[in-house]
């Protein structure tokens, strides 16, 4: 069991207790356990093995016993006890934006709602009209939230799916006779959500591999089981499952299978048309002459694309968005290795979990040249936003800590809220920062003009260097606010302001097609993790995948540049404004 899985189990326990109406002290105890486990930098199982659970912050003897029980049995008896009274399906309601345990409890007790489907019925039949705490506006927003959850149902966020695929692939590599395992499908293409996982492998004995595959930890159901193909429903952690398809293919046609099962379907359709025009057939076994004759290419993807007079197309581009018109491989398409720094992250000064020094250490371990510390501004009170005097102290703290890390440049920055008519700090204060991230956190309305006006106001400010998570979407949770990306990226290009690809797997904002539009408009993109804990710095990979899906090259991305070039980017904008 991973740390995240254990954390989730305690979070759900707290949710159930809160719905049940237990006192907040008890609920908070389990929330704290969940947070501690989620933040743990070492493996929980190691801590438990050393008998050191009770030494963790916020974990007493009773909680330590619960954690041990969870690790030993995979579940919590207390949860079973509670769910005899509180239906576990009530947890579905919490996926809806704006519905917390308190409201879920009210819906359950007052209206007998126990599931998302029932809630939907209840709303449609007007059953919530006279329930206290549920005004017309809030009912409307719940209705929208439900349809959003439904439309995203069954699709997992890339970040989570990536971790699961990694572990399944590892397990497969441990099976004797397996010589190669590779991901295919939407995961390999770096899509923001993934329907199911597709894995390919080369092995001597297909049946034995599929057998072992259907018995790996967490298998809930076996959907298909044959000599070269297996399909399972995997539940790697409570309440979250995903289908995994495995195909065992021969080494001599691995390239053809990998190409076929990577997709996308639209890309493959276009590629097949191209083959047919030449009198050939393309399928998962290879590219061959249509009259059942000679195999033209099958061992590698490169050979197949080459035979079709195409450069090898990186998987992230295989969406039928113009990649079949390429005459040569895209040069300098962004890679993770090109990234030299991360310019948006939080520390314990606001709502982050780690100190400035801890973030710096992790950045150095990642091989970065620079980072910007960008804690929240005062209006983000729940996130511990800094009042102006605290910001000044924080700037001094960053500069002091910076002296301990001569190999890394630490920029003193802030994530300043874009309010309805101004920024959350005055210009005099912003002028003292090395780097300014601006973002909208409140009042994201449905009016595209109002939203765009706010974003443009920030872009026009001489001290704002990047517009962060521009559309404010939360994948599978909250839709993007309407925003005129075309206008915003033109303004960004003109003023020398970067647009962010927020690399958090929950955001990936700007998304691929928006990033591509911004680049076409001449805007510079900046890929930031917005990390609130050290390990979140590793989410950079998902931002890079999104950037590649947006066809971004090295020169389009600010944080591939040197620190001097980043400083010049900041200075140029300020100078231009001064000259106006």
Strands (E), 361-477: 370-376, 409-417, 435-439, 466-467
On whether the CB atoms of residues 485 and 473 are closer than 8 A, the answer is: no
Contacts of 167 by beta carbon, 8 Å cutoff, 6+ apart: 236
Return the range that interacts with ligand DGT (CB under 6 A); candidates 88-96, 260-268, 405-413, 457-465: 260-268
Any idea what DSSP says for residue 327? S
- 498 to 517, contacts with Ca ion by CB under 5 A? none
Burial 489-506 (b: 16+ CB within 10 A, else e): bbbbbebbbbbbbbbbbb
CB nearer to Zn ion: pick between 298 and 529: 529
Smallest distance from Ca ion to CB 188, Å: 9
Burial 436-450 (b: 16+ CB within 10 A, else e): bbbbbbeebeeeeee
Q: Does 245 bind Ca ion (CB under 5 A)?
A: yes
**What is the chain's alpha carbon radius of gyration, rounded to the nearest angstrom?**
26
Which one of 75, 265, 399, 400 is in contact with ligand DGT (CB under 6 A)? Answer: 265
264 binds, among ligand DGT, Zn ion, Ca ion, none (CB under 5 to 8 A by kind): ligand DGT
Smallest distance from ligand DGT to CB 222, Å: 18
* Helix (H) / strand (E) containing 396: helix 388-402
Burial 262-299 (b: 16+ CB within 10 A, else e): bbbeebbeebbebbeeeebbbbbbbbbeeeeeeebbbb
Binding mask 527-566 for Zn ion (x = CB under 5 A): ---x------------------------------------
- 410 to 429, contacts with Zn ion by CB under 5 A? 415
Smallest distance from Zn ion to CB 205, Å: 50
345 binds, among Ca ion, ligand DGT, Zn ion, none (CB under 5 to 8 A by kind): none
CB nearer to Ca ion: pick between 186 and 539: 186
Q: Does 263 bind ligand DGT (CB under 6 A)?
A: yes
Could you give the CA distance from residue 315 to residue 191 in angstroms, rounded to a whole number? 10
Smallest distance from ligand DGT to CB 529, Å: 24
Smallest distance from ligand DGT to CB 166, Å: 16
Tell me whether the omega of the peptide bond preceding residue 135 falls within 30 degrees of 0, making it cis. no
On whether the CB atoms of residues 12 and 79 are closer than 8 A, the answer is: yes
CB nearer to ligand DGT: pick between 136 and 277: 277
Q: Does 375 bind Zn ion (CB under 5 A)?
A: no
Return the range that interacts with Ca ion (CB under 5 A); candidates 55-63, 193-201, 321-329, 331-339: 193-201
Return the range that interacts with ligand DGT (CB under 6 A); candidates 125-133, 265-273, 491-499, 545-553: 265-273
319 binds, among Zn ion, ligand DGT, Ca ion, none (CB under 5 to 8 A by kind): none
Smallest distance from ligand DGT to CB 229, Å: 12
Return the range that interacts with Ca ion (CB under 5 A); candidates 56-64, 190-198, 331-339, 529-537: 190-198
Max Cα-Cα span within the chain: 78
CB nearer to ligand DGT: pick between 165 and 537: 165
Smallest distance from Zn ion to CB 554, Å: 25
DSSP class per residue in 30-65: HHHHHHHHHH-SS-HHHHHHTT-GGGSTT--HHHHH
Which one of 144, 152, 264, 361 is in contact with ligand DGT (CB under 6 A)? Answer: 264
Could you give the CA distance from residue 424 to residue 430 in angstroms, rounded to a whole number? 10
301 binds, among Zn ion, Ca ion, ligand DGT, none (CB under 5 to 8 A by kind): none
- 163 to 222, contacts with ligand DGT by CB under 6 A? 185-186, 191, 194-196, 198
Could you give the CA distance from residue 167 to residue 102 in angstroms, rounded to a whole number? 36
Q: Which of 137, 130, 14 is nearest to 76 (CA)?
A: 14
Which one of 134, 160, 261, 506 is in contact with ligand DGT (CB under 6 A)? Answer: 261
Q: Does 268 bind ligand DGT (CB under 6 A)?
A: yes
Contacts of 466 by beta carbon, 8 Å cutoff, 6+ apart: 343, 344, 436, 437, 438, 497, 498, 499, 500, 526, 528, 558
On whether the CB atoms of residues 36 and 59 are closer than 8 A, the answer is: yes
Smallest distance from ligand DGT to CB 195, Å: 3
CB nearer to ligand DGT: pick between 195 and 330: 195
The site for Ca ion (CB under 5 A) is made up of 185-186, 196, 198, 245
Site of interaction with Zn ion (CB under 5 A): 415, 530
Binding site for ligand DGT (CB under 6 A): 185-186, 191, 194-196, 198, 260-261, 263-265, 268-269
């Amino acid at each position: 069991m991973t740390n995240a899985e254990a954390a989730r189990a305690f979070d759900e326990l707290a949710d159930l207790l809160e719905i049940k109406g237990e006192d907040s002290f008890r609920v908070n105890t389990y929330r704290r356990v969940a947070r501690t486990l989620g933040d743990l930098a070492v493996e929980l199982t190691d801590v438990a093995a050393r008998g050191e659970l009770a030494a963790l912050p916020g974990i007493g003897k009773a909680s330590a016993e619960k954690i041990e029980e969870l690790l030993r049995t995979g579940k919590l008896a207390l949860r079973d006890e509670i769910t005899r009274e509180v239906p576990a399906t009530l947890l579905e309601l919490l996926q809806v934006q704006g519905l917390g345990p308190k409201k879920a409890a009210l819906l359950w007790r007052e209206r007998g709602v126990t599931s998302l489907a029932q809630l939907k019925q209840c709303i449609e039949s007007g059953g919530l009209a006279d329930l206290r705490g549920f005004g017309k506006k809030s009912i409307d927003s719940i209705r929208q939230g439900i349809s959003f959850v439904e439309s995203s149902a069954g699709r997992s966020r890339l970040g989570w799916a990536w971790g699961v695929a990694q572990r399944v692939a590892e397990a497969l590599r441990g099976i004797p006779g397996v010589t190669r395992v590779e991901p295919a499908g939407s995961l390999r293409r770096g899509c923001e959500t993934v329907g199911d996982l597709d894995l390919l492998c080369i092995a001597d004995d297909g049946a034995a591999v599929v057998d072992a595959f259907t018995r790996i930890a967490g298998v809930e159901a076996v959907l298909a089981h044959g000599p070269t193909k297996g399909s399972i429903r995997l539940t790697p952690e409570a309440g979250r499952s995903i289908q995994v398809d495995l195909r065992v293919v021969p080494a001599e046609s691995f390239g053809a299978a990998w190409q076929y099962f990577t997709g996308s379907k639209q890309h493959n359709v276009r590629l097949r048309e191209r083959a047919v025009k030449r009198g050939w057939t393309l399928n998962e076994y290879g590219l061959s002459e249509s009259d059942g004759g000679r195999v033209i290419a099958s061992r590698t993807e490169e050979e197949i694309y080459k035979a079709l007079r195409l450069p090898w197309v990186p998987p992230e581009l295989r969406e039928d968005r113009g990649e079949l018109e390429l005459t040569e491989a895209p040069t300098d398409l962004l890679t993770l290795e090109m990234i030299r720094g991360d310019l948006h992250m939080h520390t314990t000064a606001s709502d982050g979990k780690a100190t400035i020094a801890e973030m710096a250490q992790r950045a150095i371990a990642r091989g970065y040249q620079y980072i910007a510390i960008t804690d929240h501004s005062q209006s983000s009170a729940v996130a511990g936003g800094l009042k102006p005097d605290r910001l000044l102290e924080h700037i001094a703290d960053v500069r002091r800590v910076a002296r301990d890390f001569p190999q890394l440049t630490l920029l003193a920055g802030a994530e300043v809220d874009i309010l309805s008519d101004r920024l959350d700090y005055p210009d005099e204060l912003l002028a003292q920062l090395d780097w300014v991230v601006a973002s909208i956190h409140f009042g994201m309305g449905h009016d595209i003009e109002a939203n765009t006006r706010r974003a443009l106001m920030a872009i026009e400010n001489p001290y704002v260097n990047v517009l962060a998570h521009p559309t404010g979407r939360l994948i599978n949770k909250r839709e993007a606010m309407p925003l005129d990306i075309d206008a915003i990226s033109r303004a960004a290009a003109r003023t020398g302001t970067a647009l962010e690809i927020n690399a958090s797997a929950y955001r990936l904002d700007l998304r691929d097609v928006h990033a591509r539009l911004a680049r076409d408009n001449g805007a510079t993109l900046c890929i930031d993790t917005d990390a609130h804990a050290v390990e979140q710095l590793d989410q950079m990979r998902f931002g890079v995948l999104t950037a590649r899906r947006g066809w971004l090259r090295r020169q389009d991305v600010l944080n591939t540049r040197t620190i001097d070039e980043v400083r010049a980017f900041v200075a140029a904008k300020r100078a231009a404004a001064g000259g106006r």
